[in-house]
Amino acid sequence: MKALLPTGDPEKLVHFQERPEPAPQPDEAVIAVEAFSVNRGEMFLLMRPKEGLLPGKDIAGRVVVAAADGSGPAVGTRVVAHPPKAGWAERATVRTSSIAELPDEVSFETAAALPLAGLTAIRLLRTAGSIVGKRILITGASGGVGHYFVELAHASGAEVTAVSGSAERGERLTALGAAEVVHDVADATGRYDIVLESVGAESAPQALAKLRKRGQFIWFGQASREPATFSFFGFFAGPESATVRHFHYADSDEPDGVDLATLVRLVHTDRLHPEIGRAEDWSLTSAILTDLRERRIRGKAVLRVGQ
């Protein structure tokens, strides 16, 4: 079968190679991939690929081999799934605990945009706790996570300020429910109950300074790839006794399949609207990764697997 694998060349990150057919474990199903989405984290890994790297975490398609242990969906079922790797291929194996069934009304392209970004957003909400009436600041809001989080947090009763690098990206965040969109974290007004930081470098201490006393600072990314420095004494200027928490989306007590099913239900009932900035044939994956690196794509990028 065909699969996309790293080249080691920063100008063309992936290329097609023949791979063996998947050999599932008893609790795994084989999915014929119809569409997948790409993430900035995967792009960074591909720029300096480790030996054996098999990219691909967000896929949608049909089950072609059901799990031998009887768990999971039957052959022919439309599904969305979150494999740990090797999803950029014609077929992929996925544990049934990381699969959710897909109604006919939700397209494969829409579903493929859900897993990593959607799981991150829904688990950020869970980590933040009760947010009704809370003021929330989120940096790096122009990507998939930011779009999902803003819409879900607004629907949950929060007042969200989103930091976005451009006016065009900010318009969409406003449409999804952001109370305010600013282009620099320094321009955010007032104090916030919760700050979600995903940029790093200078953005992190600036965002921390916006936190109220005993507020919650949740650090969920470092898109700039540059370290951040905090001053202990900076806390006395406002966020005194604040909680600083590291977040990783995979650290969850809920199986991926359960949260994926929630995301699918929200999409199906018109309460969550994935932002797909580009949808192309998978032959253009390397070009899409370059556009993602250069921030030329708003929201998610989805690739359709050619038949």
Distance in angstroms (rounded) separating the CA atoms of residues 237 and 235: 5
Q: Are 89 and 177 in contact (CB under 8 A)?
A: no
To which H or E segment does residue 153 belong?
Answer: helix 144-155
Q: Which segment of 12-21, 219-228, 255-264, 273-282 scores lowest on mean pLDDT?
A: 219-228
Q: What is the pLDDT of residue 240?
A: 92
Handedness of CA 40, 45, 48, 53 (dihedral sign): negative
Matching CATH topology for 2-114+274-304 and 118-246? no
Question: Taking the domains of the chain in order of start, what are their residue ranges?
Answer: 2-114+274-304, 118-246
Q: What is the pLDDT of residue 221?
A: 86
Distance in angstroms (rounded) separating the CA atoms of residues 133 and 138: 16
The third-level CATH classification (topology) of the domain covering 118-246 is: Rossmann fold (3.40.50)
Cβ neighbours of residue 146 closer than 8 Å, sequence gap 6 or more? 138, 140, 162, 164, 173, 198
Higher pLDDT, 295 or 1: 1
The residue count for the chain: 307
Cβ neighbours of residue 79 closer than 8 Å, sequence gap 6 or more? 29, 31, 60, 61, 62, 63, 73, 99, 100, 101, 102
Tell the burial category of 231 from Cβ atoms under 10 Å away from its Cβ (0-12, 13-18, 19+): exposed
To which H or E segment does residue 150 belong?
Answer: helix 144-155
Asked whether residue 41 carries a pLDDT value surpassing 60, the answer given is: yes
pLDDT average, residue stretch 113-122: 97
pLDDT average, residue stretch 190-206: 93
pLDDT average, residue stretch 75-95: 98
Higher pLDDT, 217 or 298: 217
pLDDT tens figures, 133-188 = 999 999 989 888 999 999 999 999 999 999 998 777 788 999 999 999 999 999 99
Q: Are 55 and 6 in contact (CB under 8 A)?
A: yes
Distance in angstroms (rounded) separating the CA atoms of residues 81 and 257: 7
CATH number of 2-114+274-304: 3.90.180.10
Q: How many CA atoms, within 13 angstroms, populate the side-chain half-sphere of residue 182?
A: 14
To which H or E segment does residue 68 belong?
Answer: none
Q: What is the pLDDT of residue 40?
A: 85
**β-bridge partners, 60:** 35, 80
pLDDT tens figures, 229-242 = 888 888 888 899 99
Q: Give, in degrees to the nearest 5, the angle at Cα 111 between 115 and 18.
A: 80
Distance in angstroms (rounded) separating the CA atoms of residues 185 and 204: 9
Q: Please, what is the average pLDDT of the chain?
A: 94
pTM confidence score: 0.94
Distance in angstroms (rounded) separating the CA atoms of residues 299 and 40: 11
**β-bridge partners, 100:** 80
Asked whether residue 49 carries a pLDDT value surpassing 60, the answer given is: yes
**pLDDT confidence tier of residue 307, bands split at 50, 70 and 90:** low
Q: Give, in degrees to the nearest 5, the angle at Cα 209 between 161 and 158.
A: 25
pLDDT tens figures, 256-269 = 999 999 999 999 99
